[in-house]
């Protein structure tokens, strides 16, 4: 069994350290610090794809996929962060959000944009799945969301958005929410 300090060791050992984080709501670059590399290079991340815009007034768009986990980096080389845009036109899928950790010795991680509407015009407002496959894992199309990120719009003919203000959320009749990235580390 591992302890917390095995994942986030302080420089010189002994656990602890100062928590740091960086958030991205638009594309940019994450540059690991030397302090991060000296502390073992371990980062935690949450990456959210852009939401989908629904089709006409009877469908709601799927939320973007939400990925979270850890990466170990070995250099201070910058990592490109690409934020997926929310779908802007009828039935437009959300853009993928990617962090290119490989440039600093890790593995690239992508959260797919929302893809898979929910229809309700002929079913009251049940919001039944349209049958198209959703982004994975944890896509909002089936009602899943993580911390409010990536929720689907199940409003159907009511024309409302469900959790639209949260990153990666799908929409019905307006541009869906764009993706999001948060990277956390200790040094």
Residue 74 pLDDT level (bands cut at 50, 70, 90) = very high
pLDDT(99) > 80:
yes
Q: What is the pLDDT of residue 123?
A: 34
Q: Is the pLDDT of residue 20 over 50?
A: yes
Give the Cα separation of 37 and 43 in Å (integer). 10
Tell me the average pLDDT across 124-134: 30
Q: Which residue has the higher pLDDT, 162 or 62?
A: 62
| 137 cis-preceded (ω within 30 degrees of 0) | yes
> Does the pLDDT value for residue 142 go beyond 50?
no
On the question of pLDDT at 44 being above 70, the answer is: yes
Q: Give me 105's structure tokens.
A: 């010795």
169 neighbors 91 (Cβ within 8 angstroms): no
Out of 12-16, 27-31, 98-102, 159-163, pick the least confident: 159-163
Distance CA 53, CA 86 (A): 7
Q: How many CA atoms lie within 13 A of 155 on its CB side?
A: 23
What's the CA gap between 65 and 75, in Å, rounded? 28
Residue 87 has pLDDT above 50, yes or no: yes
Average pLDDT for residues 99-126, to the nearest whole number?
Answer: 74
Range scoring the smallest mean pLDDT among 16-25, 44-53, 174-183: 16-25
Confidence of residue 58 (pLDDT cuts 50, 70, 90): low
Rounded CA-CA distance 109/90 in Å is 28
Q: If you average pLDDT over every residue of the chain, what do you get?
A: 75
């Amino acid at each position: 069994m591992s302890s917390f300090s095995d994942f986030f060791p302080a420089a010189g050992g002994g656990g602890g350290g100062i928590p740091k984080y960086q958030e991205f709501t638009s594309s940019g670059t994450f540059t690991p610090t030397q302090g991060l590399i000296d502390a073992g290079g371990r980062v935690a991340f949450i990456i959210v794809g852009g939401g989908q815009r629904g089709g006409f007034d009877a469908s709601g768009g799927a939320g973007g996929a939400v990925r979270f986990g850890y990466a170990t980096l070995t250099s201070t080389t910058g990592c490109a962060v690409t934020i997926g845009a929310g779908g802007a036109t009828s039935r437009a899928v959300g853009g993928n959000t990617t962090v290119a950790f490989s440039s600093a010795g890790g593995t690239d991680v992508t959260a797919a944009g929302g893809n898979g509407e929910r229809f309700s015009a002929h079913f009251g407002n049940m919001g039944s799945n349209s049958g198209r496959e959703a982004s994975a894992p944890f896509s909002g199309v089936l009602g899943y969301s993580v911390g409010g990120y990536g929720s689907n719009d199940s409003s159907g003919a009511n024309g409302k958005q469900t959790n639209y203000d949260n990153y990666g959320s799908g929409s019905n009749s307006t541009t869906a929410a764009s993706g999001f990235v948060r990277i956390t580390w200790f040094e």
